[in-house]
């Protein structure tokens, strides 16, 4: 029988070198979702990943995986896979095949040769099977790291900055793989990142983490709206002049307009579909648009928006912002 609430944490507190890094966090992760912790380098997200993986034990509170305490039932860790985008976790002088064979044996995978080829085929990298890892570029190495994570078919996949230091093509490929895995409904994935654009694209829910505390848990769009009240776009106009600017300032669809430079503006719209009305108005007034781009809020903007709201409602943690 499948358990939906695969990870269930209650009031966990974690210390490191005598300092409290994680402060009474409570959250759960369901099977079939991608749950994201977004935070800066001081948020405690890396240590939290180690706690979920069973590598670090909380000082207090409880974390259950598959309904059991991961710190008591050690073999539960074999049902977890971890990809750390900031670590180098492959044996450079071994071939891709030998690396994956080593991890397959470690996790007691059956029909090892068949499983290795299945995973490499899923990631579309079978042509690298006999190459040494040292011969591969960093993009391919990241895909091999993902293959290593998937080799034993873990039910929980922990992803720490999985797209760091790789190119756009590889990033898109990995995102497609993760979404395909999510759609099977078999896995619970937990993403740890400082990149809101990534979080917004693939997350089911987002927990905003700051100084070891969860400020809110909400949908991607709800978190975005805490930073920007509407939809923010950048528009580059070749012949932006005073007359066109005045027309845009009086445009009823534009809630806010900021001039970035002599050709570039930022606008905030109530409805993202209103962009076509704005660009139509620009064209009508002979404006030559070079590009339009949706702007995701920065992590600092999210923090400011959340802390402002918490201050307004008079609370420590934003319990009322949970959804």
* Structural element, H or E, at residue 20: strand 19-30
Domains, the chain, with CATH or none? 5-225 (3.40.50.300), 230-294 (3.30.70.100)
256 C-beta neighbours (distance < 10 Å), count: 12
5-16: strand order across its sheet: 19-30, 5-16, 60-65, 68-69
* Helix-helix angle 112-122:138-150, to 10 degrees: 130
pLDDT in tens, 156-170: 999 999 999 999 999
Alpha-carbon distances, residue 12 vs 205, 217, 318, 320 (angstroms): 20, 16, 17, 20
**Among candidate residues 166, 209, 157, the one with its CA nearest the CA of residue 53:** 157
Distance, CA of 260 to CA of 82 (rounded, Å): 41
Alpha-carbon distances, residue 166 vs 173, 258, 291, 323 (angstroms): 11, 33, 25, 33
Spatial contact of 191 and 179, defined as CB atoms under 8 Å apart: no
**Among candidate residues 191, 213, 194, 159, the one with its CA nearest the CA of residue 39:** 194
> Percent of the chain having pLDDT more than 70?
95
Query: Residue 80 above 80 pLDDT?
Result: yes
Residue holding tokens 């909400």?
A: 218
pLDDT in tens, 185-225: 999 999 999 999 999 999 999 999 999 999 999 999 999 98
Spatial contact of 264 and 159, defined as CB atoms under 8 Å apart: no
The predicted model gives 44-69 an average pLDDT of 93
**Mean pLDDT over each residue of the chain, to the nearest integer:** 92
Q: Which two tokens stand for residue 8?
A: 């269930």
Spatial contact of 100 and 151, defined as CB atoms under 8 Å apart: yes
b/e burial code for range 273-292 (CB count within 10 A of at least 16 → b): ebbeebbebbeeeebeeeeb
Model pTM score? 0.90
The predicted model gives 83-108 an average pLDDT of 92
Query: Residue 322 above 50 pLDDT?
Result: no
Distance, CA of 7 to CA of 69 (rounded, Å): 10
């Amino acid at each position: 029988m499948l358990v939906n609430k695969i990870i269930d944490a209650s009031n966990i507190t974690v210390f490191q070198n005598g300092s409290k890094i994680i402060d009474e966090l409570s959250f759960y992760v369901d099977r079939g979702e991608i749950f994201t912790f977004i935070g800066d380098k001081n948020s405690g997200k890396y240590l939290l990943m180690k706690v979920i993986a069973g590598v670090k034990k909380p000082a207090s509170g409880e974390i259950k995986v598959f309904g059991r305490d991961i710190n008591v039932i050690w073999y539960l860790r074999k049902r977890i896979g971890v990809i750390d985008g900031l670590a180098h976790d492959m044996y450079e002088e071994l071939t891709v095949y030998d690396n994956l064979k080593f991890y397959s044996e470690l996790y007691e995978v059956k029909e090892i040769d068949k499983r290795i080829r299945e995973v490499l085929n899923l990631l579309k990298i079978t042509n690298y099977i006999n190459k040494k890892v040292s011969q591969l570029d960093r993009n391919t190495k990241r895909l091999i790291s993902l293959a290593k994570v998937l080799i034993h078919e873990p039910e929980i996949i922990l992803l720490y900055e999985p797209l760091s230091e790789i190119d756009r093509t590889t990033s898109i490929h990995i995102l497609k793989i993760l979404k395909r895995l999510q759609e099977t409904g078999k896995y619970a994935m937990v993403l740890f990142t400082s990149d809101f654009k990534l979080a917004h694209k693939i997350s089911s829910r987002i927990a905003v983490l700051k100084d070891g505390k969860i400020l809110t848990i909400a949908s991607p769009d709800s978190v975005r709206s805490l930073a920007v009240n509407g939809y923010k776009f950048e528009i580059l106009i070749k012949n932006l002049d005073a007359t066109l600017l005045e027309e845009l300032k009086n445009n009823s669809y534009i809630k806010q307009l900021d001039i970035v430079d002599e050709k570039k503006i930022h606008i905030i719209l109530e409805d993202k579909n209103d962009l076509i009305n704005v660009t139509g108005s620009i064209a009508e007034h002979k404006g030559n648009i070079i590009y339009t781009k949706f702007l995701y809020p920065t992590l600092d903007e999210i923090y400011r928006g959340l802390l402002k709201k918490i201050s307004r409602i008079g609370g420590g943690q934003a319990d009322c912002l949970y959804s």
